[in-house]
Structure 1
Amino acid sequence: MGKEQIKIVVCGDDGVGKTSLVACLVKDQFIQNLQNCLPPVTIPRDFSSSPFCPKSSILVDTTSYDLPALHRELKSADVIWLVYSDHETYDRVALYWMMMFRSLGVNLPVVLCKNKCDDFSVESEPKSSVLSPSDDSLSDSTKVEDEEFIPILREFKEIETCIKTSAKDKFNVNQAFYLCQRAITHPIAPLFDSRVGELKPLTVLALKRIFLLSDKDQDGFLNDHELIVLQKRAFGKAIDKSELEFIKETLLNLSMPPQEYGSYTLYIPDKGITKDGFLVLNKLYSEKGRHETTWGILRAFHYTDSLSISDKVLYPKMDITDTASVELSPLGYRFLVELFLTFDKDNDGGLNEQEIDFLFKTTPGIPRLWAETNFPFSTVVNSQGFVTLQGWLAQWSMTTFLDHKTTTEYLVYLGIEKDARLALQITKSRKKRRRNGKFYRALVTDRKVFNCFVIGKPFSGKSSLLESFVGRSFLESYSPTIRPRIAVNSLELKGSKQYYLILQEFGEQEPAILENVEKMKECDVLCLTYDSSDPESFSFLFELINQHKHLQELPMVFVALKADLDKQQQRCYIQPDDFTDQLYIDHPLHVSSVWSSSLNELFIKLTEASLEPSINTPGIAPDIVKEDINYWRYALVATSAVGFTSLFTFTFFKLFRSLRNEHS
């Protein structure tokens, strides 16, 4: 509930003791000879000792003599405290009061209170919830098993719970107020169907997911350590050993014939609580009026009152500028590595289809982006077609770069305990420089993931290039690319620096993509491919670049594919080498999918062009960017030297500083 204050409207027939209950709650004593109706009273948030009542409340006393005022208060209420005191007023609960609420369209939780029960002992305050069902925080008189309460609870789903009170003896007055607050902060209705005595389907789904996430070793049981971790996450404190033993003993007894759950396995000694046992345990909480314990567990895993995970948690707000990108942080990579190792049950270094299905069982399924890009074949797989750890991390690096909201969403679904934003990091905004009227991108110093658009005439070899990038063998058969394709892999450059490169081929969408100036801003480097054995292939690129002038603002690398075949003179106004000379960029690389060394050279070249855009941006003369390039290269040398001896560090620092002085 988003409101900071809970409005509790106290109503019932005149003479049942409504005003006495309000006065006793506020003054902590029974007061005789009160006026007929007290003015609204604000109760501070720290009034109750219970940790499950984090909001302040306004308590509104009413009288049935002023029906219009009563109706107004009911329509603006959050919860109704309905009071009766004898058989006659009990009958009017169903025949008059509940019918009135429904006729007004008031669909609110109702706490039903039998007042003037002056022969009971003093109440006990509610305790902090723990996993143990032995904490009987409600006195015997408040249990729903009371014969007087059961029929009306079954007839009216609006009635949240029932309680007996006495303003005269100060019995259960604070407890009744607490139950009114709890009806809002920890409602029973979304969790438990009291008419059939079962947890609701959405509750079962949520608890099954929490069980899977809490079962860290994925053996199908919650052992003592896993229960302790769950307890600390949900309630911020350790569970007592005796309470833990009571839980296990309770479940063991319940699963013994002829008990209610005699056909279920709820607990196995030396292994732990089963999934069924975890569900039964939470069902017991609801039956005993202890559903705030279940809510404590659910909210520790970010569930809202609607039993869905909060959008604020799934998609946290992040301040990302237009030219910045989002990558995984070391925390994010560490979480994903641990996830991979946990679900690689056969320890073969790959996640097979069954392991992937089980890994994503706590989520809506594999991300939509993955399905659209033919995962796992968008990344590195082993000889059996199972995604490797290298491919797993590459896939998530790509996902984060292209759609960071999918990553935060799935990190939460997969059980990350910290703020999902801590698993990501935002890179610096991409800077532009201008020389002699020409804009070009500045050097990149903090990014590890780069996006490459692979463009070229059909049948030039783009698809084979993507296949080769993720380690798959060249196939002679050809099928035209219609839908976009993607491939991602990691690369290690000099200095053992690791980067991720995303290759995208657009199929029939390529013309529309090239015309979209905003879309092209997402590109770090263009890979312009042509078939060196096809004399008509290069002219396609030549016309493309002249038609879309904005492409010349991007770094580009020309690639002559199928270099293992006979090279043909291109039937074009200008030959490839001459054209690249005019653009002040390197001549085309000659690459073949059957020459692994040439492929590796190309992928490194694409990554380096992303790091140093000016080198391969058309129209930037070499002397213009020489200073920037030298600065960057010496900076890399100085950085790589940090891991060695202090002498090396000192020497490179002096060299770096002298070079800077020379440039200045």
Structure 2
Amino acid sequence: MRRDVRILLVGDEGVGKSTIVTSLIKESFVPHVQHIVPEVTIPPEVTPENVTTYIVDSGNSDSDRSHLESEIRKAHVICVVYAIDDPNSFSRIPAHWLPYFRQLGVNVPVILVGNKIDLRGGEVTNEALEDEIIPIMNEFKEVETCVECSAQANLNVSEVFYFAQKAVLHPTAPLYDSRDHVLKRDCVAALRRIFKLCDVNKDGVLDAQELNEFQSKCFDTPLQAQELEGIKDMVREHSEAGVRGDGLTEAGFLYLHTMFIQRGRLETTWTVLRKFGYGEDLRLTEAFLYPKFEVPHDCSVELSPLGYKFFTDIFEAYDKDQDGALKAEELNDLFSTSPGNPWANQKFPDTTVADDTGAVTLQGWLAQWSMTTLLEHKTTLGYLSYLGHPQPLSALQITRPRKTERRKGRSTRNVFLSYVCGGAGSGKTSFLRAFVGRKFGEAYNPTKRMNSVVNSVDIAGSEKYLVLQEFGSNYEAEMLKSSKKLDLADVIVFVYDSSDTNSFSYISGLRQRYNLDHIPTLFVATKSDLDLAQQRHEVQPDVYCRRLGLQVPVAVSVKTGQTADVYHAICSIAMNPNSAIPGGADRASTAAARLRMYVTVCAIFGGVSAGAFFLYRAWKRPGSLIWGGSWLSWLVGGGVRREL
């Protein structure tokens, strides 16, 4: 919400603009005031809306014209003052002032202020005032309201500026069509979304508990039982469909806000809208959807236990038939409070676990959100807000850096990413589809875009989520040469067709061209149901793997359903990364041991500088042995060369 309001007073000469400003400041009538009162600043603590308010007076002479136009363009709201005892000053509002604002290209709220009400002879009914004002309001939508006051009697002066503030902070135009006397389309859409979010049990009615939770969220106080009954009685009287059973329907909810606006209580509706993240354009604000959330380098983002609970609860709320799966219509209903299904262009639900009809199971639903959070946590953060989570940041957690976990030799994360690489026709897509329970397809369709799937894997009674990604042989090189993308991978799975003599050489070539030895690796031989072919490579795959200190390729056949629990093996490697580092399983531990030796020796010699100086003197001493190479290489590399 805006933190300052700039109010400009305009009008013909002698209508009392300067006197109104002076009466507000002095709280009494001042008979002689200067031609134009200097700009007045009212601090936020003395205003009802707690905003800084600037009040600007203006003149109407030719010499004041350039200054007047400048102030009109800077104003947030314009008060057009006319004198009750001067009909000509009133008639000039639609004839001169309002067209003048439009001519300048200014579109801000306008308040009509009738001054000198103390000089009106006799009483004037509200109907008579409406007959004068309504035609102007119908022609000029920028006119918010009309206030009559008396600067001399100090009557309704503060109300002038109160309504001016309200016109800026709680504008009518985005919410209500004054000509047709109905809520505008965007306002209806926003209020319907809010109703749906507050309808926790999704029965189409806000019961007493849900209404109280709504009231507490927006206004920090619950409704008393008597107040609640009074609201329902009033709605029932004017809208038969507004109340059902013991609760308020969507129609009743919309009627209430229509009534608030018609009675000048726009701040009530705006308070509700802003509590649910809406800005003045009736769109959810960026700050609401994406609160600040910094993720350090080499760390990933996962759902917290609160996040999994939220997505479980919302799944169960929209599983209307309670069959344990969300059908297409149930998913559409669930995502109706958001821009739509976030995975619509990702072949969802083929990316996760579904039942025989294609409906997404709870296991698949949670797995899909786990993958989204890992790969695009900002999407999850936004959808937590779209779907009504009261504190989205509490639904996410940041993991330890991958390098730290590899150094420690064990991962504490719950969601892992594995790249699946291999030549065209090696069976990567079938390998991914089998992971999420899809049937084997005989037809070959080359991968033309990145393909991702996710499922849960049980590791010693603990549920982990594994994401498999393939890029297609045309795009693998681009992915593997990017150190930034490689840093995201927990495991690389190299797939080759064990029945194709040329298949293994492709993945061997990838390893030769790119630096991949720091990433845990697994080789998988697909199509084991076919005859085993001798690979056209300098060594066969099993020898190749042994030389790297890795387990021999895991033989699988997706067609026959013989996968040898390979997905469990991938997840186990991700959890124990040092077990599958190319170059030997003990490579990382050896490096760590050398590092500990280095630290110990440095401590003995009084630090790095003292140790280096000692060895340097030994190297220079006549007749001493010469140590070839750097002493640090000797300590960390584990080898020395002695020369006479």
Tell whether the 8 Å contact from 2:480 to 2:514 is kept in structure 1 after alignment: no
Q: What's 1:111 paired with? A: 111
Tell whether the 8 Å contact from 1:143 to 1:162 is kept in structure 2 after alignment: no
1:427 aligns with 2:399: yes
Tell whether the 8 Å contact from 2:554 to 2:564 is kept in structure 1 after alignment: no
Q: What's 1:71 paired with? A: 69
The one-letter code matched in structure 1 to 2:75 is A
Residue pairs, 1:267-278, within 5 angstroms: 267-268=243-244, 270-278=245-253
Q: What's 2:626 paired with? A: none
Q: What's 1:82 paired with? A: 80
1:212 aligns with 2:185: no
The one-letter code matched in structure 2 to 1:178 is Y
Tell whether the 8 Å contact from 1:12 to 1:83 is kept in structure 2 after alignment: yes
Check 1:345–1:59 CA distance in 2 against 1; reply closer, same or farther (3 A cut).
same
Check 1:343–1:149 CA distance in 2 against 1; reply closer, same or farther (3 A cut).
same
Q: What's 1:164 paired with? A: 148
1:254 aligns with 2:238: yes
Residue pairs, 1:133-148, within 5 angstroms: 146-148=130-132
Q: What's 1:371 paired with? A: 344
Give the deviation of 1:145 after TM superposition.
8.0
Give the deviation of 1:328 after TM superposition.
1.0
Post-superposition Cα deviations, 1:386-422, rounded to whole Å, max 9, x if no partner, equal 111111111001001111111111111111112x222
Q: 2:212 aligns with which of 216, 219, 228?
A: 228
Check 1:441–1:588 CA distance in 2 against 1; reply closer, same or farther (3 A cut).
farther
Q: What's 2:589 paired with? A: 625
| Residue aligned with 1:431, SS | helix
Q: What is the number of residues matched between the two proteins? A: 585
Unaligned runs of at least 5 residues, structure 2: 594-644
Give the deviation of 1:119 after TM superposition.
8.7
1:492 aligns with 2:458: yes
* In 2: Cα distance, 1:276 partner to 1:235 partner: 21
Check 1:18–1:153 CA distance in 2 against 1; reply closer, same or farther (3 A cut).
same
| Residue aligned with 1:313, SS | helix
The one-letter code matched in structure 2 to 1:429 is P
* In 2: Cα distance, 1:82 partner to 1:221 partner: 45
Give the deviation of 1:340 after TM superposition.
0.5
Check 1:267–1:143 CA distance in 2 against 1; reply closer, same or farther (3 A cut).
farther
TM-score, normalisation: structure 1: 0.83
Tell whether the 8 Å contact from 2:578 to 2:588 is kept in structure 1 after alignment: no
CA RMSD of aligned residues (A): 2.5
Check 1:54–1:595 CA distance in 2 against 1; reply closer, same or farther (3 A cut).
farther
Tell whether the 8 Å contact from 2:581 to 2:587 is kept in structure 1 after alignment: no
| Residue aligned with 1:457, SS | coil
Q: 1:513 aligns with which of 473, 479, 486?
A: 479
* In 2: Cα distance, 1:145 partner to 1:487 partner: 68
Give the deviation of 1:246 after TM superposition.
3.0
Check 1:144–1:73 CA distance in 2 against 1; reply closer, same or farther (3 A cut).
farther
Give the deviation of 1:144 after TM superposition.
12
Tell whether the 8 Å contact from 1:534 to 1:568 is kept in structure 2 after alignment: yes
Tell whether the 8 Å contact from 1:144 to 1:161 is kept in structure 2 after alignment: no
* In 2: Cα distance, 1:63 partner to 1:227 partner: 51
The one-letter code matched in structure 1 to 2:157 is V
The one-letter code matched in structure 2 to 1:277 is G
* In 2: Cα distance, 1:221 partner to 1:390 partner: 29
Q: What's 2:571 paired with? A: 607
Residue pairs, 1:95-494, within 5 angstroms: 95-118=95-118, 146-255=130-239, 265-268=241-244, 270-367=245-342, 370-418=343-391, 420-431=392-403, 443-494=409-460
TM-score, normalisation: structure 2: 0.86
Give the deviation of 1:626 after TM superposition.
6.5
| Residue aligned with 1:382, SS | coil
Tell whether the 8 Å contact from 2:9 to 2:80 is kept in structure 1 after alignment: yes
* In 1: Cα distance, 2:272 partner to 2:515 partner: 54
Q: What's 2:535 paired with? A: 570
Residue pairs, 1:36-55, within 5 angstroms: 36-48=35-47, 50=48, 53-55=49-51
Give the deviation of 1:289 after TM superposition.
1.5
**618-627 or 375-384, which moves further after superposition?**
618-627
Tell whether the 8 Å contact from 1:143 to 1:289 is kept in structure 2 after alignment: no
* In 2: Cα distance, 1:293 partner to 1:143 partner: 26
* In 1: Cα distance, 2:125 partner to 2:306 partner: 51
Give the deviation of 1:466 after TM superposition.
1.2
Check 1:141–1:245 CA distance in 2 against 1; reply closer, same or farther (3 A cut).
farther
* In 2: Cα distance, 1:197 partner to 1:145 partner: 19
Tell whether the 8 Å contact from 1:186 to 1:291 is kept in structure 2 after alignment: yes
Tell whether the 8 Å contact from 1:36 to 1:63 is kept in structure 2 after alignment: yes
| Residue aligned with 1:574, SS | coil
The one-letter code matched in structure 1 to 2:116 is K
Check 1:112–1:527 CA distance in 2 against 1; reply closer, same or farther (3 A cut).
same
| Residue aligned with 1:503, SS | strand
Tell whether the 8 Å contact from 1:141 to 1:163 is kept in structure 2 after alignment: no
* In 1: Cα distance, 2:192 partner to 2:255 partner: 11
* In 1: Cα distance, 2:136 partner to 2:439 partner: 71
* In 2: Cα distance, 1:238 partner to 1:73 partner: 44
The one-letter code matched in structure 2 to 1:99 is P
* In 2: Cα distance, 1:373 partner to 1:249 partner: 49
Q: What's 1:649 paired with? A: none
* In 1: Cα distance, 2:59 partner to 2:16 partner: 11
Give the deviation of 1:8 after TM superposition.
1.0
Check 1:455–1:624 CA distance in 2 against 1; reply closer, same or farther (3 A cut).
closer
Check 1:141–1:487 CA distance in 2 against 1; reply closer, same or farther (3 A cut).
farther
The one-letter code matched in structure 1 to 2:30 is I
Tell whether the 8 Å contact from 1:327 to 1:427 is kept in structure 2 after alignment: yes
Give the deviation of 1:627 after TM superposition.
9.2
Tell whether the 8 Å contact from 2:436 to 2:454 is kept in structure 1 after alignment: yes
The one-letter code matched in structure 2 to 1:448 is N
| Residue aligned with 1:146, SS | helix
| Residue aligned with 2:424, SS | coil
The one-letter code matched in structure 1 to 2:26 is K
Give the deviation of 1:243 after TM superposition.
3.3
| Residue aligned with 1:355, SS | helix
Q: What's 1:57 paired with? A: 53
Check 1:192–1:144 CA distance in 2 against 1; reply closer, same or farther (3 A cut).
farther
| Residue aligned with 1:452, SS | strand
* In 1: Cα distance, 2:585 partner to 2:302 partner: 32
* In 2: Cα distance, 1:475 partner to 1:285 partner: 60
Check 1:342–1:621 CA distance in 2 against 1; reply closer, same or farther (3 A cut).
closer
Check 1:623–1:356 CA distance in 2 against 1; reply closer, same or farther (3 A cut).
closer
The one-letter code matched in structure 2 to 1:116 is K
Q: What's 1:634 paired with? A: none
Give the deviation of 1:19 after TM superposition.
2.2
* In 2: Cα distance, 1:305 partner to 1:387 partner: 37
Give the deviation of 1:77 after TM superposition.
1.6
Q: What's 1:504 paired with? A: 469
User: Computing the radius of gyration over CA atoms, which structure comes out larger, 1 or 2?
Assistant: 2
The one-letter code matched in structure 2 to 1:298 is L
Give the deviation of 1:441 after TM superposition.
5.9
The one-letter code matched in structure 1 to 2:522 is V
The one-letter code matched in structure 2 to 1:586 is Q
* In 2: Cα distance, 1:155 partner to 1:171 partner: 29
